[in-house]
Structures are given as C-alpha cells and as structure tokens.
C-alpha cells in the first residue's frame, strides 16, 4: 500500500506491507542530483516486509526557489519530524546515499535515540584525516573540481547554471535524465566551500570507532576515488552487528546492480542477520 503525506514542507511517499505489521521502518535519503525516485527499485524489494519512507530534499524539487541554501539544522529538524511521525513509535533504520549520508549521519548524532541502524551507501568517513591522507593528489583535485563547479553553478543559476550542472552530471555519468537536473541542487556544495547558511561544521566525518550502532556500509569500487578510508571500513567490518560490502559498481550502487544491492540489504535487515 502506497500513500502520500505532507509534513515539514516535504511530500512523503510511504509504502507499507499489506496485511502484516512492518518489521521496521526504513527512511531513505538521497543525494545529488537525485530525488525520492532513486529508491523506486529498493522500495519494490522491501515493501513486503518493511515500511519505506522517502522524500525529495528541499532545493532538489521542481519549483523550489532559485539559490535557496538550506542549513543543516533545518534539514535535520525536518527529518526529526518525519521519523517521529512515521517511525511507528520505534527507532528507524536510515538508508542513505551521497548527501543523504551527510545529512543522515548528522541526524544520528543529534538524535541517536531515534535511530536503530544505519545503511550507508558509498559515503563513509569522507573528509576525515585518514580519508584525506589516503587520497592521491589527482583525487583531491578531482573532488575539489567537481564540487566547486557545482557550487558555482548554484550561484550563477538560471539557464547557464542549469547547463553547468547538467554538463558535470554527464561527465560523472549520473543515471538521472538531464532535464531533471538543475543548479538549485548544488547548495550543499556551496555551503561546504563557503561556510554559508551556518556551514556544515556540525556534519563532521566519522571517527575510527563510529557510528556506535549496527551499520551496513556498501560501496562501489568502479570510480576514480573512494569516499571512505580503508582503515575506517576495516574497523567497521570487525564490529559486531556491522558489515562492509564492496560491489563491482560505480557510485550509484542501487542503480548499477539493483538485484545485488537489494539482496545484500535484505539479508542484513532480516532478523538474526
């Protein structure tokens, strides 16, 4: 059963198992330049057993204001309202990708009592000392280059800004139709590099022993650089209740290998896994 709800300025899509009580609630958060549609295949695989809740972030939706930068505290508060309203009275599982990881990890730090488990897809301790130390110079320049380009596209806006965002998306082989990509989606990069809108200082990278709860980390190896350190992934993999899975995909693991990703996810979510 699928329904749409409005809360905290968001349009939520909620999928429930039919005729049975959901085993848990999975809240799905996307990143750049995606929308709630990123999780269509994942929801189809999970909805028979789990309640699936998803939405498109402010600024990523058609019709959102030009050059609106949404502070981290604002996004965390909206997410808190969603979790408390639709979590079924229990801590939820967060399923996160890209910027959804950044915002979701920050939410866990602010409201750990509302989160039972985390599934992080392709973003781990990105930006930590260990991660930066592992990156070769070419990778550091590549990360700075695409992020600054998208931050500039956000500020320029309009047709030129949209064209810049779509050009970068094509270069990165983003699996999103070009007409659905616009410069307004670049505000996280603008905030990251300028410190505007309160900055993202509160979204600090994971430490070597974080997070302190069960976590599944899935990442693709077919990309120019990793968004986690090997030391962090190793420390996570040996902790009880946690698992690290490398897949033969790019950054969009759930799109490049949907069946493989869904199998890993369902196995880990199942009781007794």
Q: Tens of pLDDT along 68-108?
A: 999 999 999 999 999 999 999 999 999 999 999 999 999 99
Read off φ and ψ for residue 40, nearest 5 degrees: -55, -50
Cα(72)–Cα(85) distance, integer angstroms: 20
Q: Using the predicted structure, report yes or no on whether residue 112 has a pLDDT greater than 70.
A: yes
Q: Where are the alpha helices (DSSP H) in 127-221?
A: 129-134, 137-156, 158-171, 187-194
Predicted confidence (pLDDT) per residue in 216-229, tens digit: 999 999 999 999 99
Task: Find the mean pLDDT for residues 12-35.
Answer: 96
Quote the pLDDT of residue 152.
98
For the four alpha carbons of 92, 124, 195 and 62, in that order, the dihedral sign comes to negative
Q: State how far the alpha carbon of 180 is from the alpha carbons of 45, 94, 165, 177, 272, in Å.
A: 25, 25, 11, 6, 40
Of all residues in the chain, the percent with pLDDT exceeding 70 is 99
CB 68 within 8 A of CB 59: yes
Best CATH choice for the domain 2-134+200-269 from the list 3.20.20.140, 3.90.850.10, 3.40.50.1820, 3.90.1150.10: 3.40.50.1820
Q: Which residues are 119's β-sheet partners?
A: 95, 216
Mind listing the pLDDT tens digit for each residue in 114-148? 999 999 999 999 999 999 999 999 999 999 999 99
């Amino acid at each position: 059963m699928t329904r749409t709800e409005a809360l905290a300025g968001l349009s939520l899509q909620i999928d429930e198992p039919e005729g049975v009580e959901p085993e848990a609630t999975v809240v799905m958060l996307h990143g750049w330049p995606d929308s709630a549609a990123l999780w269509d295949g994942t929801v189809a695989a999970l909805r028979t057993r789990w309640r699936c809740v998803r939405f498109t972030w402010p600024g990523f939706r058609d019709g959102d204001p030009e050059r609106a930068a949404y502070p981290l505290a604002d996004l965390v508060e909206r997410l808190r309202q969603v979790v408390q309203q639709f979590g079924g009275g229990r801590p939820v599982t967060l399923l996160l990708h890209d910027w959804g990881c950044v915002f979701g990890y920050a939410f866990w730090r602010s409201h750990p009592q509302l989160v039972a488990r985390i599934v992080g897809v392709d973003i781990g301790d990105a930006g930590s000392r260990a991660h930066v130390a592992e990156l070769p110079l070419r990778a550091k320049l590549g990360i700075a280059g695409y992020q600054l380009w998208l931050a500039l596209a956000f500020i320029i806006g309009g047709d030129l800004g949209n064209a810049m965002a779509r050009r970068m998306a094509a270069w990165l082989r983003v699996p999103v139709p070009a007409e659905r990509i616009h410069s307004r989606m670049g505000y996280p990069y603008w905030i990251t590099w300028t410190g505007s809108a309160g900055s993202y200082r509160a979204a600090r990278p994971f430490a070597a022993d974080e997070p302190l709860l069960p976590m599944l980390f899935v990442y693709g190896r077919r990309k120019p650089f990793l968004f986690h350190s090997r030391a962090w992934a190793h420390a996570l993999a040996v902790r009880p209740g946690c698992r690290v899975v490398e897949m033969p995909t790019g950054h969009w693991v759930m799109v490049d290998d949907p069946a493989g990703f869904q199998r890993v996810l369902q196995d880990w979510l199942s009781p007794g896994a």
